[in-house]
Amino acid sequence: MASVGATPGRTPQGPGPGEASTNFPCPAPVPGPGEAEEEEEEEPAEIHLCVLWNSGYLGIAYYDTSDSTIHFMPDAPDHESLKLLQRVLDEIDPQSVVTSAKQDENMTRFLGKLASQEHREPKRPEIIFLPSVDFGLEISKQRLLSGNYSFIPDSMTATEKILFLSSIIPFDCLLTVRALGGLLKFLARRRIGVELEDCNVSVPILGFKKFVL
């Protein structure tokens, strides 16, 4: 069996014309001090949920920082036990839950129980109450229709913008519209994702998407 290496008594020669050389794997070069590039760690995605419950119906909208998109669920029936809301919380695991300071007793009890779950994994969400006026129906419609969205071209007229948004947002779902309006108010106030930017930089919203469980 031929061994790989130099023949005793001879000076090792390089491969002649047409001969293949034997390649040995070379260890990867070790970067010197200061040469290693530090990989930038991506900030973990955050989900901020806005919810309203009234007369057995639930209105839900949330903002996901991973894709800068607002997701909404059209008004859906949910009984006093709020099992649907609990399913949504288990599914998306929000960083915060935003709602109106003026709430039904069932919702108040539910949120109080949620806030007291000290051993919830990974951790319980922050409960944020905004003034009930921030969830007004007309003001919420105005926020939605007057918002600056990167997916709507500047060349679109006001009428065209209203028609376009009406085709993707269910304005006939009053609780959902109010939840969307409250969410926009919260995003603008907290400046989610643009905390360090100039005050004239708004929170990016790249789309509205409907979701169902």
* Beta-carbon contacts of residue 75 (< 8 Å; ≥ 6 apart): 57, 58, 59, 170, 173, 174, 175, 176
Q: Which stretch of 62-76, 125-139, 197-211 has the lowest confidence by average pLDDT?
A: 197-211
pLDDT in tens, 45-78: 889 999 999 989 999 999 999 999 999 999 999 9
Q: What is the pLDDT of residue 8?
A: 43
3-state SS, residue 103 = coil
Of 27 and 2, the one with more pLDDT: 27
Tokens of 73: 């669920």
88 C-beta neighbours (distance < 10 Å), count: 22
Mean pLDDT within 139-167? 94
Q: Which of 19, 25, 68, 28 is nearest to 45 (CA)?
A: 68
Q: What is the pLDDT of residue 190?
A: 83
C-alpha 182/C-alpha 188 separation (Å) is: 10
Of 25 and 111, the one with more pLDDT: 111
Q: What is the pLDDT of residue 194?
A: 62
Of 3 and 66, the one with more pLDDT: 66
Q: What is the pLDDT of residue 200?
A: 66
Q: What is the mean pLDDT of the chain?
A: 82
Q: Where do the domains of the chain lie, and which CATH numbers do they carry?
A: 47-210 (3.30.420.110)
H-helix or E-strand spanning residue 19: none
